[in-house]
Amino acid sequence: MHTQTISQLAHGLRSGQFSSVELTQHFLDRIKRYPELNAYITVTDQQALQAAQQADIKIAAGTADLLTGIPMAHKDIFCTQGVKTSCASKMLDNFIAPYNATVVDKLNQAGAVMLGKLNMDEFAMGSSNETSFYGAAKNPWDTSKVPGGSSGGSAVAVAAQLAAYATGTDTGGSIRQPSALCGITGLKPTYGRISRYGMIAYASSLDQAGPMARSAEDTAILLQAMAGFDPKDSTSADEPVADYLADINQPLQGLTIGLPKEFFAEGLNADMATVLETAIAEYRKLGATTQEVSMPNLKLAIPAYYVIASAECSANLSRFDGVRFGYRCQHPQDLTDLYVRSRGEAFGKEVKRRILMGTYALSAGYYDAYYLKAQKVRRLISEDFSKALSEVDVIMSPVTPTPAFGIGEKLADPIEMYLADIYTIAINLAGLPALSIPAGFINGLPAGLQIIGNYFQEARLLNVAHRYQQTTGWHQQLPEDFT
């Protein structure tokens, strides 16, 4: 059962091949069987089985939605009422969310069965899942390798079939990068397409929730349930939600693909370049044409991103002070001691690093030199994408410069770790939609292809990805040790 797609599972539930309770128990058993992957922070066994019982009642009554009764899991950055929401941090290790995030509510309304909460980099700050207070999740293709981050637990759960699908968040590549490294499909929608309400903030102008699944078709089903305007989120886009399955099978004749010369230049792993060339050749067979495009400001994306993201994280994480909720130090001498020790003891090294960088960039005398200048660069990057997308229909690029690297390999060099997101960060700065799809293997490890589109053109991206997946089998490959 665990190897089936969302559509196949929905058919099995409706035809009586298995019940939601049986399906849910099957996934719970798999989670217990593979603790070494460390994909889950919290497993909600009883809650999941109760939800499955309710789903079976709806299915029997003929009132079920497509997702009703199908087991899934949430990245532990989404508030889930009555369940620990930790952001993989000691700071929130004792925090029980008093309400649901909008994404959680929407999937609950669609009948989803939550199996639990998934591992991640602490407060979504990382590219490898190694900053988690609960230890790194492991890549199921090679458990000595990282799964990527920050949505690493989500990617592991889907790749190892410990959930039928998962939610993730993407601030600078945190859905697409782990999806590529674990061989699944992950979509970062247009900024504002999915509500951020109840999603604990890292960098508010960059964070975006999105679906992570085995295929583009499954991703389209999930986006349909997750997308939409939310009056509780001031950054939510009041745009109509498309029917993401309606045109998913449209042929690709006449599609123009832009290939940014800056993304295919020095620094790209030679094997990765070969994987991408093979994937693009497949698109030409499907009727697409390619065109080189130039985005000269892409080289500025990483410094601009880390100034902006760190500044916003400094502001957002100031609320964690040991007073209202979360971790509090023992026996503080005074209020200052409470603040200093609570934050110092509860935040990990990478979170502290970014808070310090952000606070410095926002400080008097440096705001104009760093934060304001980074925002101006952001505008230039956005204009580069707008120009390119006025000439082509979609842009294709690598997701990562290399396949998954070893656990511990880059921890000593934060700059090298930051470069793992070199191909994804610019898309967040521009607020555009992009997705990662499996496109091959390098020495037994998955490699991904990134497809970037114009604002609110997720349906087109999913169509482009789906047509490729109909003629290739990369997305159907499963890690042998966890089948």
Catalytic residues: 75, 150, 174
Do residues 186 and 436 make contact, with C-beta atoms less than 8 angstroms apart?
Answer: yes
What distance lies between CA 243 and its chain's CA centroid?
22
Residue 451 identity (one-letter amino acid): I
For the chain, the maximum distance between any two Cα atoms, rounded to a whole number of angstroms, is: 70
Q: What is the DSSP string of 232-274?
A: T-TT----PPP-TTTTTT---TT-EEEEETTTTSTTS-HHHHH
What interhelical angle do 6-14 and 45-61 show, nearest 10? 60
CA dist list (Å): 232 to 168, 183, 236: 20, 34, 8
Do residues 394 and 255 make contact, with C-beta atoms less than 8 angstroms apart?
Answer: yes
Do residues 186 and 218 make contact, with C-beta atoms less than 8 angstroms apart?
Answer: no
Neighbours of 386 (CB within 10 A): 13
Task: Return the SS3 of 239.
Answer: coil
Rounded to whole angstroms, the Cα distance separating 266 from 275 reads: 16
Round to the nearest angstrom and report the end-to-end CA distance of the chain: 11
Do residues 462 and 435 make contact, with C-beta atoms less than 8 angstroms apart?
Answer: yes
Rounded to whole angstroms, the Cα distance separating 157 from 429 reads: 28
Do residues 182 and 86 make contact, with C-beta atoms less than 8 angstroms apart?
Answer: no
Rounded to whole angstroms, the Cα distance separating 388 from 398 reads: 17
Three-point CA angle 269, 273, 278, nearest 5°: 150
